[in-house]
Amino acid sequence: MKRTFLGATILALGLSLALGGQASASDAPSGAPTAADLAAVSTVVTSDATTQRLANAVFPGAAKADTAIAARTAKADPRTPVAVYQPTAAFIAGAPGAPAELAYVAVPATLGNGNAATLWSQREGSGWSVFNVASGDIEKRLGGRTGKGYLLSEPQAGAWYAVDGDTVTVLDGSSVAKTGEKMTLAAYRQALQSRYGDKLPGSTYDRTGAAGGYGAPPAGDTSVPWWPYAIGAVFLAAAGAAVTLRLRRQ
């Protein structure tokens, strides 16, 4: 699924890598937002600054609404936040510990012209901030299908999964299995290893400097999904690396 992003700079997740051992079904994802975190997210997504950002934002090809109409239409709905997780480099390598960590908290929203959007929030210091506005509401739609599990995004492949204990269910976009099919956590890790195992920190791919991803998208081109360019940041980068994505700020 191709999405439009109206973000600016996104810091890479710091991933530590320890070889040996395996992630188990009992390992919960790391970084899960607390009730206090979600309250902070609610505050930032409903702030005047964020509402104004939604009122002014326009995805490529869409019409801009009248200023007065946009002011009345633009809003976020913090009642249904969705925590989105991504696999860790350690999990892909077969190391012990959490199989996934928090990437962002998604909150459904409406732009000033009525288009559906999603606000992405990350921890910033002791608080939270909105760092991206994405088109559509896929997180809300898929988040409601995770049951007692959590929503896992594999951004390089544009795939989404529900993870509940040792069971991984395909929700959308997977090349590993059809939507609705299930696999064990170990089988999913093996699939990740086949795709990314030779690109982990310490690999030849990493040592030659290629682990930063596939370069930056064209400046100002918000129609290009940024996830493929951030593969090094999400799965493969050494701890503390950062990726600056040149996307149009709205």
The verdict on residue 12 lying in a domain is no
Query: What is the pLDDT tens value at each position of the chain, 250 positions in all?
Result: 567 666 643 333 333 333 334 555 457 899 999 999 999 999 999 999 999 999 999 999 999 999 999 999 999 999 999 999 999 999 999 998 899 999 999 999 999 999 999 999 999 999 999 999 999 999 999 999 999 999 999 988 889 999 999 999 999 988 778 899 999 999 999 999 988 866 665 554 444 555 544 333 333 333 333 333 333 333 333 222 222 222 333 4
pLDDT given at position 218: 30
Q: Which domain holds residue 153?
A: 35-236
pLDDT given at position 223: 33
The verdict on residue 43 lying in a domain is yes
- Number of domains present in the structure of the chain: 1
The verdict on residue 8 lying in a domain is no
pLDDT given at position 178: 85
The verdict on residue 215 lying in a domain is yes
pLDDT given at position 10: 39
Spatial contact of 88 and 97, defined as CB atoms under 8 Å apart: yes
What is each CA distance from 89 to 18, 100, 103, in whole angstroms? 9, 9, 13
3-state secondary structure of 91: helix
**Residues in Cβ contact with 250 at an 8 Å cutoff, skipping those fewer than 6 apart:** 6, 53, 56, 57, 58, 133
Ramachandran angles phi, psi of 56, nearest 5°: -90, -20
3-state secondary structure of 118: strand
The verdict on residue 9 lying in a domain is no
**Residues in Cβ contact with 95 at an 8 Å cutoff, skipping those fewer than 6 apart:** 17, 18, 19, 20, 21, 22, 23
The verdict on residue 2 lying in a domain is no
pLDDT given at position 227: 36
Phi-psi sector, 173: left (phi>0), alpha (psi -120 to 50), beta = left
pLDDT given at position 242: 26
The verdict on residue 58 lying in a domain is yes
